[in-house]
Amino acid sequence: MAVFYQNPGQPSSIQQSMSRRANCWENAVMERLFRSLKPERLNSLTFINHLAAATQVESYIQFYNYKRLHSTIDYMTPHQKYQNMKKWLRISTDLVDHYTPCRY
């Protein structure tokens, strides 16, 4: 049965993502987004076509990334957390770049 699911990716050169057994973190970010998307935006709506649904999903992704506060990242938006991490990495890199080891 597993061969049936692997073959559709072969003709178009798509590489299937396969993590190790019991490694549940690979898809956790997307699963969390969809866990919020359905009850917060989609469950109460009906759509006349695919474009209407896609527009609502895109709108929610913008909201999720730039406006919605997340308790797991200290009540910041993902965008704010990303900016803070970039700032921290830039500072860390500057510290490492200026570090010169002592020679004995």
Please state the pTM of the whole predicted model.
0.62
Tell me how far apart the alpha carbons of residues 5 and 45 are, in angstroms, rounded to a whole number.
Answer: 31
Per-residue pLDDT tens over the stretch 66-104 = 999 999 899 999 999 999 998 888 877 665 555 555 554
pLDDT tens for each residue of 9-60: 556 666 666 666 666 666 777 888 889 999 999 999 999 999 999 999 999 9
3-state secondary structure the chain: CHHHHHHHHCCCCCCCCCCCCCCCCCCHHHHHHHHHHHHHHHCCCCCCCHHHHHHHHHHHHHHHHHCCCEHHHCCECHHHHHHHHHHHHHHHHHHHHHCCCCCC
